[in-house]
Every structure is written in C-alpha cells, then in structure tokens.
C-alpha cells in the first residue's frame, strides 16, 4: 500500500511537470516598448503676424501717418529753401552786398535747420517703430505662450531668423496666432485666412 502511494505521488508529479526531462518554459519575449509620442513642435512667422494681424496693420498705419506728417513739414521746408535760393539767383545781383549776405546767411541757416530736422525726424520714426513693434511682439509673445500651453507644444520656434532650416507647413501655426491675437485685440484680422487651426 505504501509503495502504491509513493508511485501515485510520483506519477502526479511527472504529469504536472511534463515528464522528468521537461524544460522550464522560457519567459515570454519582451514586448516592444510603445513608440514615443511625436514631439509637438511648431513655428510661427513673426513678420507675417506683424503684416497681417489687425494690431500689426494698425501699428504700421500709425507709423505711416507720423511719417506723412513729418514729410509734409519737410516739404514745406524744402519749398521755403527753394524760394530763397531762387530769390538769391534772380535778384542777388540787384541787392546790396549787405542784403545779399544777409539773404545768403538766412538760406544757409534754414538749410542747416532743415537737415537737422530731417535727421531728428528719422530718429524719431525709428524710435516709434521700435516701440510699436516691441509692443506688438510682447502681446504676441503672451499669446504664443498661452497657445503653446493649451495645445501641449514642447517647443515653438520663430521662422525667419536662420535657425529653422526646414519646417513642414503642418507645423506652421502663424495663422492661428494671428486669429488669437485679433480676438484678444477685439478686432477681426483681415489678413488672416479663415481656415481652422491645424492639429499638431
């Protein structure tokens, strides 16, 4: 009876292990790791934002009005100088030496004043342009940061400074930024096409 019990136990053990020479099953091959999610990178063309957003257009128009006013004043100065020069050329011979010298001094003084005024106008326009563009860029920078967070971008580049050698058009979110900027400004951008935002 004891021998039968031992034989039965051995038979059960052999059956459960697949025989004395059964090998331990090898572990399953490792599953390939899931492919990493595509890195979400986009770019914008800042010059296009400035050229086509409502605020960028308004900034340029403001600069053009300033420039037109300055140009008008410079045109008046030039007309005055031409009048003085013509007077010296046509009537100078009939003037006394003192009168001709006074007229010549007046012409030279006004010419120097006009040149100085033109230089001042140029510097003033450059300063105003820099201030307006910096304001627009600051506002756009905040919008870019917000869109980047909301859309889950890892990186948003600026195209046009030589740092982006190639970029797919699908990564261009410039028009989306223009729409967001116009919406924040409370205006409709005439330059931004009414296409739905691209999905990264």
Q: How far is CA 161 from the centre of its chain?
A: 10
Span 175-189, pLDDT tens digits: 999 999 999 887 544
Span 114-172, pLDDT tens digits: 999 999 999 999 998 888 878 888 889 999 999 999 989 999 988 876 677 788 888 89
**Neighbouring residues of 146: CB distance < 8 A, sequence distance ≥ 6:** 180
Residues facing 45 on adjacent strands:
159
* The three-state (H, E, C) secondary structure of 18-45, written as one string: CCCCCCCCCCCCCCCCCCCCCCCEEEEE
Structural domains for the chain: 39-185 (3.30.910.20)
- Higher per-residue pLDDT: 191 or 149: 149
What's the CA gap between 2 and 176, in Å, rounded?
A: 86
164 DSSP 8-state letter: -
């Amino acid at each position: 009876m004891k021998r039968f019990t031992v034989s039965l136990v051995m038979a059960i053990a052999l059956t459960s292990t697949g025989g004395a020479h059964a090998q331990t099953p090898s572990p399953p091959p490792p599953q390939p790791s899931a492919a990493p999610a595509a890195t979400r990178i986009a770019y914008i063309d800042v010059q296009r934002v400035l050229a086509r957003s409502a605020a960028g257009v308004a900034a340029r128009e403001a600069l053009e009005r300033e420039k037109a006013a300055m140009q008008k004043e410079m045109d008046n100065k030039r007309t005055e100088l031409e009048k003085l020069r013509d007077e010296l050329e046509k009537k100078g011979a009939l003037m006394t030496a003192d009168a001709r010298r006074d007229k010549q001094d007046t012409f030279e003084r006004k010419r120097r004043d006009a040149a100085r005024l033109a230089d001042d106008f140029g510097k003033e326009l450059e300063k105003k342009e820099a201030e307006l563009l910096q304001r627009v860029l600051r506002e756009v920078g905040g919008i870019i940061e917000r869109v980047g967070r909301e859309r889950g971008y890892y990186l948003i580049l600026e195209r046009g400074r030589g740092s982006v050698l190639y970029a797919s058009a699908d990564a261009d979110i410039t028009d989306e930024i223009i729409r967001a900027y116009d919406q924040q400004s409370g205006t409709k951008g005439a330059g931004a096409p009414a296409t739905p935002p691209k999905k990264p």
